[in-house]
Amino acid sequence: MEEIYKELQRLGFSQYECKAYIGLLKHHPITGYEISKRTGVPRSMIYEVVGKLVEKGAVYIVPSEPVTYSPLPARELIARQRRQFEQSFDYLEKELAAMESEREVDVIKRIDGDELVIAEMKELIGNAKAELWLSIWEPQVPFIQTQIDGCCDEGIDVFTVLFGKAETRVGNTYHHDYMSPEVAEERMGGRLTIAARDVEEVLIGNFALGKSAWAVKTRDPALVLVAMEYIRHDIMFAEVTKELGPEKVEALWRTRPDLYHVVTGKRFK
Amino acid sequence: MEEIYKELQRLGFSQYECKAYIGLLKHHPITGYEISKRTGVPRSMIYEVVGKLVEKGAVYIVPSEPVTYSPLPARELIARQRRQFEQSFDYLEKELAAMESEREVDVIKRIDGDELVIAEMKELIGNAKAELWLSIWEPQVPFIQTQIDGCCDEGIDVFTVLFGKAETRVGNTYHHDYMSPEVAEERMGGRLTIAARDVEEVLIGNFALGKSAWAVKTRDPALVLVAMEYIRHDIMFAEVTKELGPEKVEALWRTRPDLYHVVTGKRFK
DNA sequence: TTATAGTAAGTATAATACTAACTACTAAAG
DNA sequence: CTTTAGTAGTTAGTATTATACTTACTATAA
């Protein structure tokens, strides 16, 4: 119920307007007095509130004695709002795009918050034209799966290093099993996540457990290249591991504890 | 420009947020101080304002010294908002429809304001399933033309009495030329406009020049029938006029000035 | 006299919008 | 070598508006 109020308020209705409208949906036509009784909106406010709803076209006046009110059917209200917002979107898309200046290539943008980071990843993946390099962790996969499948369908080359279950497949998938995920996480100070597309743009993020995710995004050619090569080396190493067997690789690491263990503590703030 | 602000504000941005975002679109990346300078948003507010934009994902932080900001490209901002609102709409459509009670047949709903009356007409026309009877005036035609064309394409019978140019065609169109539009307008106290569909629902409206339009809408079978028959008689009379010639009909009227002239003054309040 | 229908006046709160005055740093001009 | 102007940002306080909430009042009809 609260959820419904929240969504309606995003469309420009006040709390009282929501209550009055939903009250009317449930029973109509009724007087202002009765809307107030049923919904808990104060009697002294109800005529102002329904007045606004009438102006917006969400409620009809039924000319009876005394005057009663009837709601616009829910489907039609939503359909109207949808049309109006679509118009706004079309208009704004055109107008805003027109006044936009060129983007700088060498800026590095920071993004904070799980949802926003995911949104940026989806966008970057959706913008891929020829190739896509990913280094991702199982828990994030469901959020971006559909975008990636879209890429695969368009014939875009997708190469993924995945920290997670062997069954999960995301494009050409290589499982990062020459080093345990725990060690990788410790080394990086979190779950390092990378998405690079078309040697043009890269997002480097960190999903630390319990903390809010963050990421940086850039078109700086040097950074894009480093991130891409990093993933490619990971993939080549996975291939080597497959060839030699994990034991030999493991042994190789053990002779170099300085490389195997965390060196500088947390690498990210 | 004002228009753009208004539309953006409907999407949940404050005046200052609009200014800051648009300022950033025009030039980026820049510091908060410079956004303030360019947009007129007070320096003392700018960090709170861009902070909100960053939270909403509409602006990136560019980690430089000093910190600068960069906007999410307009297309992507709009695309995101579109997705979010679509979700809201889908959710609300389902939830609200679920709690809606049956509509009463015999209520008469009143609608005030040009835009709302037009919106209701469009909806009624769009809901037609088998037949549609219209009595409309030229100036309203462009607003509802597309809906009517939709009906014609679906094979719905559309009968229209039109007060307006002979060239304008709206379904099966009959031009109301046995009485001058001026006289008709005087008789009715405005431009009486009717739309009836499927012997089920009718809208009776009045577009008076210079004043705000109003209408009533009902499913009361008696009213629907009266309105429909009224239009049908008009059409039959137009046919008679075509047969006899306008002169004879004119002469017929002249012998009955009580019918020809306004009887009760303004018929509508 | 009780329930219905509606109005008037006033308060509380939060979000937004606006102003003034302050610190701190840098770079150029006198 | 200080003064001035510009950049960058903070703190505090006010005005305005929209929304939310009370209390108290007038009618009227069963």
Same-domain status, B155 and B41: no
Mutating which of B17, B109, B115 best tests the A interface, going by the most A Cβ atoms within 10 A? B109
Same-domain status, B43 and B128: no
| Structural domain boundaries, residue A43 | 2-76
Residue A265 neighbours by CB distance under 10 Å: 7
Confidence tier at A257 by pLDDT (50, 70, 90): low
User: Looking at the domain assignment, is residue A197 inside a domain?
Assistant: yes
Same-domain status, A188 and A61: no
Calculate how close chain B gets to A62, using CA atoms only, in Å: 4
With residue B60 as reference, give the H or E element that holds it. strand B59-62
Rounded distance, CA A141 to CA A158, Å? Answer: 14
User: Looking at the domain assignment, is residue B153 inside a domain?
Assistant: yes
Same-domain status, B198 and B115: yes
Can you give the pLDDT at residue B269?
30
Can you give the pLDDT at residue B120?
95
Same-domain status, A240 and A125: yes
Measured from the CB, is B15 under 7 Å from any atom of strand C?
yes
Can you give the pLDDT at residue B195?
97
Q: Residues B21, B58: contact at Cβ < 8 Å?
A: yes
Edge to edge, what strands does the sheet with B131-137 contain? A68-71, A59-62, B108-112, B214-218, B201-207, B191-197, B131-137, B157-163, B172-175
User: Looking at the domain assignment, is residue B232 inside a domain?
Assistant: yes
Same-domain status, A35 and A139: no
Same-domain status, A222 and A127: yes
Helix, strand, coil share (%) of chain A residues, nearest 5 = 55, 20, 30
Residues 6+ apart with CB under 8 A from A130: A156, A157, A198
**What CATH number is associated with residue A128?**
3.30.870.10
User: Looking at the domain assignment, is residue B67 inside a domain?
Assistant: yes
Interval B2-59: pLDDT, tens = 889 999 998 989 999 999 999 999 988 899 999 999 998 999 999 999 999 999 999 9
The tokens for B211 are 């004043």
Q: From the list B81, B103, B104, which residue is nearest A89 (CB)?
A: B81
Same-domain status, A70 and A116: no
Rounded distance, CA B54 to CA B113, Å? Answer: 39
CB contact under 8 A, A110 and B63: yes
User: Looking at the domain assignment, is residue B21 inside a domain?
Assistant: yes
Same-domain status, B38 and B122: no
Calculate how close chain B gets to A106, using CA atoms only, in Å: 10
User: Looking at the domain assignment, is residue A86 inside a domain?
Assistant: no
Interval A94-126: pLDDT, tens = 999 999 988 777 889 999 999 999 999 999 999
Same-domain status, A151 and A236: yes
pLDDT lower than 50: segments of chain B = 259-269
Same-domain status, A175 and A60: no
What angle separates helix A221-244 from helix A246-254, to the nearest 10 degrees? 120
User: Looking at the domain assignment, is residue B267 inside a domain?
Assistant: no
CB contact under 8 A, A91 and B28: no
Domain count, chain A: 2
CB contact under 8 A, B7 and A70: no
Interval A5-55: pLDDT, tens = 999 998 989 999 999 999 999 988 899 899 999 998 898 889 989 999 998
pLDDT at A260 exceeding the cut of 90: no
**What CATH number is associated with residue A67?**
1.10.10.10
* Strand D close residues, chain B 24-43, CB < 7 angstroms: 31-34, 37, 43
Same-domain status, A241 and A175: yes
Rounded distance, CA B169 to CA B79, Å? Answer: 39
User: Looking at the domain assignment, is residue A136 inside a domain?
Assistant: yes
| Chain A residue with minimum CA distance to B21 | A96
Can you give the pLDDT at residue A256?
56
